[in-house]
A and B are shown apart, each in its own frame.
Chain A
Amino acid sequence: MFLVNELIALLAANLILTQALGTSTIFIAAGSRKNLVGTAFMITVFTFTGSVCAYFADKLLPEKYSDFKLLIYVISIGILYVILLSAFYFISRNNFENSRKYIHLSVFNCAVMGTLLTVSGKASENSSITEYMSAGLEAGIGFIVAALILTAAYRKLNSSKVPAAFRGFPAMIIYLGIISMAVYSLI
């Protein structure tokens, strides 16, 4: 029962199905298992580490400069971007060529930036760093769940049985809409 409740909570808080964040990226992720793992991993890394940056930005930035919040987030994600690329380069130069495309794809993504803005919007003055981190992790896992749901139907939605005009993107958006409707009924 605990797992069911957790799954429902995860779906209800899913940024793709409820807020349409990272919709175009999920289509790339759902294309193949390799893309799914690579993109989902990078998105989760960015949402998780980005939330930590968002915590410090929210705590340190005075309220009257709140318009500069986006700029601070962008600089933070930019620094994480460079750190991640450097880390991948030094850890495994052979795999760097393959993995860097996922880093490029995930940075400044709507799912990442949207998570930071959503987490910050929901946070109160007393919110702790763990709340930010768990929200960031939840967003990353939510992306994986939505990508898995789309992967299950990806081949059929791209098959020749679907009318040419709706094959691919249009069918996938409608499919996400139907899943989103099911999630909406849970909220």
Chain B
Amino acid sequence: MNKERSSVFSGIIGNNIVLSSLMVVSPVIICGDTLKNAAALVYAFSAITFLSVLISSFVPKKLSYTVKVIIYAIISSLVYIPVKWAAQEFFPGAVERIGIYFPLLAVNSLIIFRSEAELYKLPKNRMIIKLIFYILGFDAVMLTTGFIRELFAYGTINGRIVDVSTPVIGLAQPFGGFIFLGLFCGLYRWIRSIVISKKEEIRGDADVSGK
């Protein structure tokens, strides 16, 4: 039961879609250079993915894989339209700043492929919880990336100047995004391996004392 529960909640840390599966990495690399961009992407990704997966979960499972994938993509590109209109209202200028990465979020692999392979096999309530945690996992990575890259590349936090003595301008560039994400990914895996080995150690001790 505990294992099942942790697998549902694993989307944020244990099985993060960006750091663990390298899904939806292009917006993180290219647009995650400021907190403002990150916030707009968080909104777009969360709204499009949640609504699309939820609506797509009603698509009959009997259909062939190809037909289902096409329907999922059509649903998400329809969901994209009102989300874009809302973004123009609440995040003025964000749609232009993010450019092609905004519509690209509508055909992200979590909606098109991961949901079919994993989420739709679960009961609805578990699917929704798991989906929310996957989305929160992306949001956490996006905001962290936006915060750190903006701080070190521009010396600002959400547009406000802070005292950073030597800004690393390259961090705002695509190559800076690649290198930052690679380091972030490595750090995440290092921490995860420590946590897993500690858990196994504790489990091993518990087994010995149980015997």
Q: Are B179 and A177 in contact (CB under 8 A)?
A: yes
From A23, A117, A177, contact of B22 by CB (8 A): A23
* B contact residues, total (Cβ < 8 Å): 44
Measured in the bound complex, the distance between the Cα atoms of B70 and A70 in whole Å is 13
- A173: chain B residues at CB < 8 Å are 22, 25, 178-179, 181-182, 185
- A130: chain B residues at CB < 8 Å are none
Measured in the bound complex, the distance between the Cα atoms of B73 and A129 in whole Å is 26
Question: At the interface with chain B, which of A3-11, A14-22, A136-144?
Answer: A14-22
Q: Are A110 and B26 in contact (CB under 8 A)?
A: yes
Q: Are A67 and B175 in contact (CB under 8 A)?
A: no
- B21: chain A residues at CB < 8 Å are 24
Q: Are A23 and B174 in contact (CB under 8 A)?
A: no
Q: Does A13 contact B (CB under 8 A)?
A: no
Measured in the bound complex, the distance between the Cα atoms of B178 and A18 in whole Å is 10
Q: Are B69 and A107 in contact (CB under 8 A)?
A: yes
Q: Are A117 and B103 in contact (CB under 8 A)?
A: yes
From A19, A82, A169, contact of B66 by CB (8 A): A82
Interface size class on chain A is: 35 or more
Q: Does A61 contact B (CB under 8 A)?
A: no
- B26: chain A residues at CB < 8 Å are 19-23, 110, 114
Closest-by-CB residue of B relative to A171 is B182
Q: Are A117 and B193 in contact (CB under 8 A)?
A: no
Q: Are B175 and A114 in contact (CB under 8 A)?
A: no
Binary B-proximity of A52-90 (CB < 8 A = 1, otherwise 0): 000000000000000111110111011001100100000
Q: Taking A20-B178, A23-B29 as contacts, is the C-beta distance between A170 and B186 under 8 angstroms?
A: yes
Residues of A130-187 at the interface with B, using a CB-CB cut-off of 8 Å, are 163-166, 169-178, 180-181, 184
Measured in the bound complex, the distance between the Cα atoms of B100 and A121 in whole Å is 8
From A27, A108, A118, A177, contact of B175 by CB (8 A): A177
Question: At the interface with chain A, which of B5-13, B105-113, B123-131, B134-142?
Answer: B105-113
Q: Does A29 contact B (CB under 8 A)?
A: no
- A27: chain B residues at CB < 8 Å are 22
Measured in the bound complex, the distance between the Cα atoms of B170 and A178 in whole Å is 11
Q: Are A71 and B77 in contact (CB under 8 A)?
A: yes
Residues of A20-48 at the interface with B, using a CB-CB cut-off of 8 Å, are 20-24, 27
Question: At the interface with chain A, which of B33-41, B54-62, B78-86, B159-167?
Answer: B78-86
Measured in the bound complex, the distance between the Cα atoms of B78 and A38 in whole Å is 31
Q: Taking A81-B66, A113-B104 as contacts, is the C-beta distance between A23 and B25 under 8 angstroms?
A: yes
A and B contact pairs by CB, cutoff 8 A, 13 listed: A17-B174, A20-B26, A22-B26, A23-B26, A67-B85, A70-B80, A71-B81, A81-B69, A166-B186, A173-B22, A174-B182, A181-B170, A184-B174
